[in-house]
Copies of this chain bind each other. A is one copy, B any other.
């Protein structure tokens, strides 16, 4: 820890938020690299190549059996979650809406390209050295990006665009390795990514935030809060995440009953979470008033926690129970844990991703392990059991349960370890991040509209001017 401390001191130099060279350079260089790497490695897969017509005729398939039709509606929903869901969820800060939506847009657009490459190299590199992509690859790329956007939630308002790009580059890389280990080596199942996406992403972000601890962040506290309108904007994000979460958890599950069941489980878990979130939020406030922070975030915890087990025979009441617990735990986390972590653990978590992704993700991993271990042929059917868990050889539900638990540990280790390493890199004083008193402010990275008094002065011109002197005084004061 001494080393970390001295490294911290080394990095504490005066801040300069000018990214006029670094941001364009990073964008252009990385995009050029993408073009070259895509040229070398990436091709259409069988279902999206124009040779598909030969396939289809040979196998006497219907057009409808192109993978496209099984996945495309879910893909679009996931896409909305990534860009509108995550983007608008983070607009709740009063002066950081441009940064929330805009930087989310930037890192997601970059991340998905890098994810196609990384996931391809680890997952689907063909004998000809080419990666074949189709609609499922696009979904997986979006999933991969989701983990980095979760991590962004922890450092929201405290990082520059360049830092976020670096964080995304490493995050996607780590994700691809972690996912490969969990899915292809350990053979754990994680359809909705409770472990792979949420647990990893949240601990990655929290570790980075811990490495980038800002002791004087209270200097920005006047901006680290919401206004009425920004809270309504954030609800756009919340609702699109909430509504499309069933698509998220079912997007890459088995055709037919697998996708169908994942949707039902997620739908129910989310509905249940809303009620317990409201209950706890109301119980812990004076006069029983609700807190928008809880409604915006904790209502989503059920979707996270049901991710791993969504395709299993969790049973409708099981989904409700998972949602019930997560609503309570997540809301209590916002009330007690977030302030505790900031004060004692030196982890500043702007969006409270520990409550929305980390804890529910871990719960999801545990629920998945238990559900897998408890699977029986009487519940699943002989064929159904094999199909659902892709059992080969002498695998059994008990073993699968153990593997699921192992996968959870892998996700946490990658998150924490990766976050600390990347945090070190991000402490270098070259990334253009803001000073402690300039956080949560779009001012430093965006050309803001000049006229900030909204529409008022303009309208005052049009009003009757009964007392011209007073008006002028008032106007001078507002303009000064």
Decide: A264 and B48 in contact? CB cutoff 8 A.
yes
Shortest distance between the CB of A81 and any CB in chain B (Å): 10
A295 vs B223: C-alpha distance when bound (angstroms): 24
Instruction: Decide if A185 is an interface residue (CB 8 Å cutoff).
Output: no
- Is B53 within 8 A of A276, CB to CB? no
User: Of B138, B321, B443, B466, which is within 8 A of A263 by CB?
Assistant: B138
Interface residues of A in 1-25 (CB under 8 A from B): 17-25
Stretch of A38-46, A170-178, A350-358, A411-419 at the chain-chain interface: A38-46
Q: Are B451 and A480 within 8 A (Cβ)?
A: no
From B271, B456, B474, B476, contact of A109 by CB (8 A): B271
28 A-B contacts (beta carbon < 8 Å): A19-B287, A23-B282, A24-B282, A27-B275, A44-B264, A52-B256, A52-B260, A53-B256, A53-B383, A64-B65, A64-B69, A66-B257, A76-B77, A84-B243, A105-B295, A106-B278, A135-B260, A135-B264, A222-B458, A223-B458, A225-B450, A228-B448, A452-B456, A452-B459, A463-B480, A464-B480, A470-B476, A470-B480
B48, B53, B387, B465: which contacts A480 (Cβ < 8 A)?
A: B465
Q: Besides the contacts A39-B317, A288-B445, what 14 more A-B pairs have beta carbons closer than 8 Å?
A: A38-B317, A48-B263, A53-B383, A67-B260, A97-B232, A98-B290, A105-B274, A106-B274, A109-B274, A161-B278, A222-B458, A225-B449, A287-B444, A470-B480
Which 6 pairs show the lowest CB-CB distances between chains A and B?
A20-B288, A50-B384, A109-B274, A27-B279, A48-B260, A52-B257
Would you call the interface of chain A mostly helix, strand, loop, or mixed? helix
A256 with B87, Cβ < 8 A, contacts A64-B65, A64-B69, A65-B62 known: no
Q: Does the CB pair A276–B47 fall under 8 Å?
A: no
Encode contact with B along A189-212: 1 for CB under 8 Å, 0 otherwise: 000000000000000000000000
Chain B residues lying within 8 Å of A236, measured Cβ to Cβ, are 84, 88, 236
**Chain B neighbourhood of A38, CB < 8 A:** 268, 316-317, 320
Q: Please indicate the chain B residues that have their CB under 8 angstroms from the CB of A18 in the complex.
A: 287-288
Question: Is A53 a contact partner of B101 (Cβ separation < 8 A)?
Answer: no
Tell which of B34, B256, B462 touches A66, judged by Cβ atoms closer than 8 Å.
B256
Q: How far is the CA of A18 from the CA of B65 in the complex (A)?
A: 57
Interface residues of A in 224-265 (CB under 8 A from B): 225-229, 231-233, 235-236, 239-240, 242-244, 246-247, 255-257, 259-261, 263-264
Distance (Å) between the CB of A309 and the closest chain B CB?
13
Residues of chain A from 97 to 115 with CB closer than 8 A to chain B in the complex: 97-98, 101-102, 105-106, 109-110, 112-113
Count A-side interface residues using an 8 Å CB cutoff: 167
Most buried by B among A32, A295, A452: A452
Q: Are A239 and B135 closer than 8 Å at their CB atoms?
A: no
Q: Which of A58-72 contact B (CB under 8 A)?
A: 62-70, 72
Q: Is A388 an interface residue (CB 8 A)?
A: yes
Residues of chain B within 8 A of A101, CB atoms compared:
232, 235, 239
Quick check: is A404 within 8 A (CB to CB) of the other chain?
no
